[in-house]
Amino acid sequence: MLDKVYKPLILPTVKWEKKTLSDTLGELVVQPLEPGFGITLGNALRRVILASVEGSAVTSVIIKDVNNEFSTVKGVIEDTLQILLNIKQIVIKNTTGKPGKMRLNVKGENVAKVENIQADDHLELINKDHIIAHLAPDGELDIEFFVETGRGYQAAKWPVGQALQQDGRIYLDAMFSPIKKVEVYTEKTRVGQSIDYDKLILTVDTNGAISPVDAIHYGASVLRTQLDHFLHTDEIPFNEISEAKEDEKEKEAMLDVQGPTKGLPVDLFLKPIDELEFSVRAHNCLVVAGIKRVIDLVNLTDDDLLKIKNFGRKSLREVKEILNAFGLHLGMNVKELDLKKVIKKQEDSLKS
C-alpha cells in the first residue's frame, strides 16, 4: 500500500531586522506564511515568551542592623522600603540558572549603585548605573542578596508563623521574567499571484538579561516540546515535503529565460532596487529617474546612467560593483514578458 501523499505547506523565511536589533530590542519578520498562520503562531509565541521565559531575581536580602522592611538605616537617606523597591529593579543575567549570592558594602557620603555589588561568577549585573540608595557622611549600607531563578511572578516566601527571622532576612516578591513587552503584527503578503498569505512581525523588548533572539528561540522550544505530546503516531514530515517542492520551484526559477539571465533567479529581476542597498545618493538619483526595479536598471547602459542628473562616475562604479556581486551587469536586455512566462510556469507547477 502506497503512503498517503500530502500537499506541501509554504515554508517561511525568518529574518531579524539587523538595523534595529540590539541586546534588548528586536524585530522579527516571518514571511510568507499560510493564510491565518500569522496570528496563530504570533499569539502562541507571544503568550509563551511573556509567561515562560526563565529569569533570575533577588528573592531575599539581609541588611545589616535591619530586621524588617519598615525600619530605617542610619546614615541612609532612603528608608528600608524604598531600598527594597530599588533592589527589585536589579537586572541579573544568570549564565548557569543556579542560585547565587551578591554583596554590597558602601560607607561614607556616597551613592550605592548596582556597579558596587560583588556577585558570584555566574551572575552578571546588567543595569550597573541603577541606584540602590544615597548615603550621608556617617552612613553605611551592608546588604547580602540571595538570587534565585524562576518563571513569571513569585510572592515573597515568608516562613509561616514567623514575623522576624533569626538571621534578619527580609523576603521579597520577585518578577523573574526578563521580557518587558512582545508585540504581534500581521499583514497580507504576496506569493506569485496570490495575496492571501501572511506576513508576521514580532517585536520583542527585554531588560537585557536575555536577547530578543534567545527569547524567540526559548519560546519556540517550549511550543515545540509541548506540541510533541499531541502526536499519536509518527510526525507528518511537512518540512521535507515542502522543501522538496521548494527545490522544484527554485529549479524553475533558475531556468534560462534568455541568454544573459542564465543561472539567475527570475524573481531577482522584479525586485525593487532597494534590495541592492545602494548608497543614498545613487539610490535617490535612480528613483527620481524612474528606475525602481532591478530589471529597469540592468537594461540600461553606462551612457544611460551618466545622463541622469547628479549621477556621476563614482555612482556608476558603485552600481557596477553591487550588480556584479549579485551576478548582474548593465546592458543585459532582459525582457519582462519572458520573466512572466517563467513565473506563470512556476505557479502552474505549484497548483498541480
pTM of the model: 0.67
- Average pLDDT (193-221) is 92
Task: Tell me the pLDDT of the chain averaged across its residues.
Answer: 86
Bridge-based pairing of strands 25-33 and 13-16 is antiparallel
Beta-ladder partners of 31: 13
pLDDT confidence bin for 352, thresholds 50/70/90? low
pLDDT confidence bin for 10, thresholds 50/70/90? confident
Cell of 96: 548557569
Report pLDDT digits (tens) over 227-275.
999 988 888 887 777 666 555 555 444 444 445 555 567 777 888 888 8
* Helices (H), ranges, the chain: 37-52, 80-88, 212-227, 238-253, 266-269, 280-288, 294-298, 302-306, 313-325, 336-351
- Average pLDDT (188-213) is 88
Higher-pLDDT residue of 186, 67 = 186
Is residue 326 predicted with pLDDT exceeding 90? no
What's the pLDDT at 253? 47
Is residue 167 predicted with pLDDT exceeding 90? no
- Average pLDDT (307-311) is 87
Question: CB-based contacts of 125: which residues, under 8 Å, 6+ apart?
Answer: 90, 91, 92, 93, 102, 114, 115, 117, 119
What's the pLDDT at 241? 75
Of 97-106, 185-194, 311-320, give the lowest mean pLDDT range.
185-194
Is residue 160 predicted with pLDDT exceeding 50? yes
What's the pLDDT at 269? 81
Higher-pLDDT residue of 337, 308 = 308
What's the pLDDT at 137? 92
Of 61-65, 74-78, 156-160, 245-249, give the lowest mean pLDDT range.
245-249
State how far the Cα of 252 lies from the Cα of 158, in Å rounded to an integer.
Answer: 67
State how far the Cα of 157 lies from the Cα of 113, in Å rounded to an integer.
Answer: 26
Which domains does the chain possess? 13-51+180-236 (3.30.1360.10), 54-175 (2.170.120.12), 244-351 (1.10.150.20)
State how far the Cα of 25 lies from the Cα of 203, in Å rounded to an integer.
Answer: 7
Specify the DSSP class assigned to residue 263. T
What's the pLDDT at 82? 95
- Average pLDDT (102-114) is 94
Is residue 321 predicted with pLDDT exceeding 70? yes
Report pLDDT digits (tens) over 68-94.
888 889 899 999 999 999 999 999 999
What's the pLDDT at 150? 95
Residues of the chain above pLDDT 90, percent:
50
Is residue 112 predicted with pLDDT exceeding 70? yes
Would you say 131 and 111 are in contact if contact means Cβ atoms under 8 Å apart? yes
What's the pLDDT at 257? 47
